Structure 1
Amino acid sequence: MRPRIVCPSADGGLARLFAEPALRDRLAALGEVVIADDVPDEATLVERVARADVVLLTTHLPDDALRAGAGRLRLVAFSGTGAESYVSLPLARELGVTVTNVVRYGDQAVAELTLGLLLAAARDLPAADRAVRAGRWTGWLGRELAGSTAAVVGFGGIGRAVARMLDALGMRVLVWDRTVDPAALAAVHGTPCTLREAFGADVVSLHLPLCAETRGIVTPELLDLLPAGSILVNSARGELVEPGALARRLARGDVRAALDVFDPEPLAADDPLLSVPGTVLSPHLGFRTPQALGRMAAGAVACVEAYLDGAPVNVVT
């Protein structure tokens, strides 16, 4: 019997890409295809997953839905990198369900947004925009980045792309990661550093994946090392920062932060990050370009093809 391949929710906007002819034809060659055109309630989501052999996942998968698929569901192909934030990997292993993800699809998109956030914070562009719209033509001092020091914390694909951009701006690049490729480091004229040294830089840009070892890795003690006038950029995961620690540090008013990710998302109306000084905020836009989303959807389909061909790729462990 041909497998039933289901994208159970249109949440996130990727379902429409799976429904486009090129990708739908590739999926149809593998089995029966059902692509949702709505965002279902949880009961309907559970029902749809229970009738699937393969799930193309674009949003959070509740444990109840994963359990409902037990015995039939074989593969959850997550359309992104941080699968552990959207599906319980321990439960999937317990139920014998393989989980795959898509990597490197958004390196350039996230790196470009990171640079945009940094430039916006360095010159306080959001405030400048508001001032012009309000009829105020009052300038204020920003800062040049060339000649200052930037620390890239996490040196995977996105971190390397950001480091190349910072090097091109004329910044001195420091790099911290658990392992650092010497050739990649040399390509950005980078210097390895300790994590404490990284937080002494003029700019700190976070690019670590979220896992047990990195959750809360940015502690109040590290944030206390940020020098006056420095900028922290986070386009990776909000959970990298210990809860509440960044808002407390920003409340002192001597450092800035440019953030595309938060914990939780979306921000609550009373979240202190909305009221502390020195912030530039965007709603998790890093990967949201047509090019990156296209690579993401195609990568998820490739994971389904490889799994059903008996040679799984990008299995999340």
Structure 2
Amino acid sequence: MNDTVVVTSRSFSSGERDLVDTLDRAGLRVVRCPADHDLRTLQPHLAHAVGWIAGTGPVMAEHLQAAPALKVLARYGVGVDAVDLDAAAAGGVVVTNTPGANSEAVAEHTIALLMAALRSVAAGDAMVRRGDWSVIRGRQLSGSVVGVVGFGRVGRGTARQCAALGCDVLVHDPYLPEREIAEDGHTPVPLQRLRTACDVVALHAPGGAVLIDAAWLEDCRPSQLVVNTARADLVDEGAVAMALREGRLFGYAADSLQTEADQDGTSPLLAPDLRAQVTVTPHLGGQTTQAIDRMGEAAVADVLAVLSGRPAHHPVDLPVTARGKES
């Protein structure tokens, strides 16, 4: 067999497992291509591809039309917003993802950001490097009330770890029965209550709607820390910057910013005067060796399953209308 698997994920097989070798031993030829999915670059490789392990770049109808032999598109990660699922269904392409592979890693990173912000880790490090050994008084996490918005895999992991560290955990998730949250040992609450009741609020909701806005910041505790390892668009960054300056919010920590695509540091949260109150990392949440291995293993397992005529382990539901067109 000399079938091609195109790989456009930057971190694929960069952990401890040699997953390229796994595909090689299965008789598949691995071709690495740019993560931006430039069609002109991909086209000659997609022409012979039976599998595609894709990162976050867009997968449009034009990409799929350029891959007439493609049987499986394995999204290396969870989100499939950038994939044209209608086109995939119409072309008979199985789409998969890797749910849960990096959930614990992101939950741990949430705790890392939370701790770093409460104890001024980044600011303290910068001070020492300047020769300044002044004391910054921080806050302890134990005994705090932590609000978790979104109780999926990552939200559950964050809630579990906060509870283990001695926090009272309140959870808001409008899509889950309150009974399910209570069975995990946490208190289900309306979103409004998190504004005034919580010392820390951890965001794990899907994007698309601003949660931390001017109204939230008018009501919340001045001692509140907001941690966002979900989507940048959950937060009004300008309103948060103003609240930090006015002493209406203790701090903000995040793994992404709305302006990151510009690469020019234009976010109001990156202003020099907010350096001690804002902690930001460049999408490090899922970047652990173990998570990279798990995502890669899941993607490879589904590619091999589909190419062998077996059902995928983590198929993505395709649009009914598209499936109808195919039939």
TM-score normalised by L of structure 2: 0.82
Judging changes above 3 Å, is the alpha-carbon distance between structure 1 residues 316 and 253 closer, same or farther for their aligned structure 2 residues? farther
- The alignment's C-alpha RMSD in Å is 2.8
Query: Could you tell me how far apart the structure 2 residues matched to 1:216 and 1:30 are?
Result: 44
Judging changes above 3 Å, is the alpha-carbon distance between structure 1 residues 204 and 191 closer, same or farther for their aligned structure 2 residues? same
- Counterpart position of 1:54: 51
Aligned-residue identity in percent: 34
Query: Is the contact made by 1:260 and 1:286 (CA closer than 8 Å) also made in structure 2?
Result: yes
In the comparison of the two structures, how many residue pairs are matched?
A: 307
- Counterpart position of 2:83: 87
Query: Could you tell me how far apart the structure 2 residues matched to 1:29 and 1:41 are?
Result: 26
- Counterpart position of 2:94: 98
Q: From 252, 255, 258, give the equivalent of 2:253.
A: 258
- Counterpart position of 2:105: 109
Q: CA deviation at 1:150?
A: 0.4
Aligned partner of residue 171 in structure 2, secondary structure: strand
Query: Could you tell me how far apart the structure 1 residues matched to 2:259 and 2:87 are?
Result: 22
Higher relative contact order (CA 8 A, sep 6+): 2
- Counterpart position of 1:268: 264
Judging changes above 3 Å, is the alpha-carbon distance between structure 1 residues 268 and 247 closer, same or farther for their aligned structure 2 residues? farther
- Counterpart position of 1:169: 165
Q: Which runs of 5+ in 2 are unaligned?
A: 318-327
- Counterpart position of 1:229: 223
| Residue correspondence of structure 1 range 149-298 to structure 2 within 5 A | 149-177=145-173, 178-180=175-177, 182=179, 185-187=182-184, 189-200=185-196, 201-208=198-205, 210=206, 214-220=207-213, 221-241=215-235, 244-255=238-249, 256-266=251-261, 267-275=263-271, 277=274, 278-298=277-297
1:263-306 deviation line (CA, Å, top 9, x unaligned): 34345322212116221011110111111100110010111123
Query: Could you tell me how far apart the structure 2 residues matched to 1:301 and 1:100 are?
Result: 10
Q: From 68, 74, 77, give the equivalent of 1:77.
A: 74
Judging changes above 3 Å, is the alpha-carbon distance between structure 1 residues 112 and 17 closer, same or farther for their aligned structure 2 residues? closer
TM-score normalised by L of structure 1: 0.85
Q: From 128, 143, 147, give the equivalent of 2:143.
A: 147
- Counterpart position of 2:12: 14
Query: Is the contact made by 2:33 and 2:42 (CA closer than 8 Å) also made in structure 1?
Result: no
Judging changes above 3 Å, is the alpha-carbon distance between structure 1 residues 292 and 40 closer, same or farther for their aligned structure 2 residues? closer
Judging changes above 3 Å, is the alpha-carbon distance between structure 1 residues 232 and 180 closer, same or farther for their aligned structure 2 residues? farther
Query: Is the contact made by 2:74 and 2:96 (CA closer than 8 Å) also made in structure 1?
Result: yes
Aligned partner of residue 128 in structure 1, secondary structure: helix
**Residues 106-115 or 48-57, more deviating:** 48-57
- Counterpart position of 2:323: none
Q: Which runs of 5+ in 1 are unaligned?
A: none
Query: Could you tell me how far apart the structure 2 residues matched to 1:94 and 1:239 are?
Result: 32
